Structure 1
């Protein structure tokens, strides 16, 4: 898998989110969400869920966990996804021909 597959999967998941508007919570999650709603004095739990997603995303980016999972599944990093090209493409490493090390030192 690579950058194109990752982009396609992100776009598909984004489109699916529009169709899925209902989230089911377990007891623990419901309790924690209720605690946060009380602490922030809000009846809008949707805003708390949005904040939670932003926080989880930022945490995984900062810790390198997102890059780890992207590298495992797609062989790219988040920076490569944002730029639309791999590091090899950015640095030009894939434009040079491979060396023939067997013939390199023959006289």
Structure 2
């Protein structure tokens, strides 16, 4: 195979992506997906599934998912998987909260 063959396969894959997904792909995403389809001879939908898995794994591994979850929900991914917060796991919620206003009154 030659560079011309690859170019033709990418252009064919690019054209075949019209209407494949229920969302609009920008030009860059579409070109990258077409290159992957041509190079890997894979179904575009399978490549999108793989891409989602890769993005998810990457955000978990780098801590980005925990950062986003902590900002939005005040939990981490591990807490989500366990179904309880770290405080609950450590027994921090079993003691009553202190009443600081009455703490030093006798």
**TM-score, normalized by length of structure 2?**
0.71
CA offsets per residue over residues 53-95 of structure 1, 9 Å max, x none? 0000000000000000000000000001111111111111111
2:44 corresponds to which residue?
45
- Name the structure 2 match of 1:60: 59
Alignment of 1:19-98 (within 5 A): 22-42=22-42, 44-98=43-97
- What is the alpha-carbon distance in structure 2 between the residues aligned to residue 34 and residue 45 of structure 1? 8
Aligned positions, number: 84
Larger radius of gyration: 2
The structure 1 segments of at least 4 consecutive aligned residues displaced by more than 4 Å after TM superposition are 99-102
CA distance in 1, matches of 2:82, 2:99: 32
The higher relative CO (CA closer than 8 Å, separation ≥ 6) is in 1
Cα separation, 2, equivalents of 1:55 and 1:72: 22
More helix by share: 1
Q: Please, what is the CA RMSD of the aligned residues?
A: 1.9
Q: Which runs of 5+ in 2 are unaligned?
A: 1-20
What is the CA-CA distance between 1:31 and the residue it aligns to? 0.1
Query: CA separation in 1, counterparts of 2:33 and 2:72?
Result: 31
Q: Which residue of 2 aligns with 1:6?
A: none
**Cα drift, residue 99 of structure 1:** 4.8
Gaps of 5+ in 1: 1-20
